[in-house]
Amino acid sequence: MPNNIYNNLSDDQLKAGYWYVTHRVLLRKLGIFILAILAGSLLVFGIKGIIDYYGTDASSREALLADISKNKLNQQLLVELNNPSDLQVLETEVIKTGENMYDLYTEVYNPNQRWYIESFDYYFILGDDEKTEIKTDFVLPEQTKYVLNLGFKSQGIVNSANLIVENVKWLKVFDYEETRNKFLNFSFENIEILAAKQSGLSKKEDIANMRFDVINKSAYNFWQPRFVVFVLKRDKVIAVTQTILDSINSGEQKTESLNIFQAIPRGVDLKIVPDINILNPDVFKSFEVDLP
């Protein structure tokens, strides 16, 4: 019997081999067609991605950038946990109130969310190295604070002054924003400012009287709450003073009357800023309970 290499192949294997040989060209074309479809799909997907990135997904991209910014802020918070940023001190304003009499104030800002200045010493340096007395104050987290020296009698004319801050004592705090919203809730109503003649206090033109109601809308009582009062003319501060109440209870309304010993023009506005150290437990007044 002749040696035939196909003797060991079954009929099915022979049929399969025959089919492959007769359809080889078709299979090659089919493979090329499938690869072309895949390449076209990838091309279409890439073009669509570019269009989405620069067009329809702009809002999503902005949201992603916002998330990245939040992550940067979180990194800033991590840095702040160990080292508070410095207190920011702006320009000092000088307001003349009489002969060689001045009110001085400086706006300062604490940029930290988790640190507050429990206490710091400050004074002002005026021309010719004249210094005011040293005072002590505080600054809450993220608070814009007005540091004052009112009624300072100088030895000469003062055109400018600089605030000097020393002995800053930082303390770390947590959840301050919730604390602030809960405690610092005051409103001011029935605000008016009258010249001395109108108020009946004096016939002099260089005295004005301010009146307003302070309403404590928080659920807490306070000892000696302090309020800084600015007199504004077209958004420019022309006078500044402060008042400290003996106390104010939750829901209580108190009427405050202040005199300013300088001429105040018509058409002015009042800006009233609470300045209470709500991180000091001594400022809170206990509730009075009427016992039978």
For position 291, what pLDDT does the model report? Answer: 42
Most confident of 26-40, 75-89, 238-252: 238-252
- With bands split at pLDDT 50, 70 and 90, how would you rate the model's confidence at 178? confident
Selection from 249, 232, 237 nearest residue 191 by Cα: 232
For position 204, what pLDDT does the model report? Answer: 58
Mean pLDDT, the chain, rounded, equals 85
Burial annotation 261-290 (CB, 10 A radius, 16+ → b, else e)? bbebeeebebebebbbbbbeeebebeeeee
For position 74, what pLDDT does the model report? Answer: 59
Contact (Cβ atoms closer than 8 angstroms) between residue 64 and residue 57: no
Residue 290 has pLDDT above 50, yes or no: no
Range scoring the smallest mean pLDDT among 3-12, 146-155, 212-221, 263-272: 3-12
Residue type, 144: T
Of 175 and 152, which is predicted with more confidence? 152
For position 284, what pLDDT does the model report? Answer: 96
Residue 292 has pLDDT above 50, yes or no: no
- Please write the tens of the pLDDT for every residue from 14-47: 676 777 778 777 778 887 888 888 888 888 777 8
For position 8, what pLDDT does the model report? Answer: 61
- Please write the tens of the pLDDT for every residue from 196-212: 555 555 555 678 899 99
Residue 79 has pLDDT above 80, yes or no: no
CA angle 18, 23, 28 (to 5 degrees): 135
For position 155, what pLDDT does the model report? Answer: 87
Q: Is the pTM of this model over 0.85?
A: no
Percent over 90 (pLDDT), the chain: 52
Residue 67 has pLDDT above 60, yes or no: yes
Helices and strands in the chain: count of H runs, count of E runs: 5, 15
Residue 98 has pLDDT above 90, yes or no: no
For position 281, what pLDDT does the model report? Answer: 94
Of 168 and 288, which is predicted with more confidence? 168
Q: Calculate Rg over the CA atoms of the chain.
A: 38
Of 73 and 117, which is predicted with more confidence? 117
Percent over 70 (pLDDT), the chain: 79
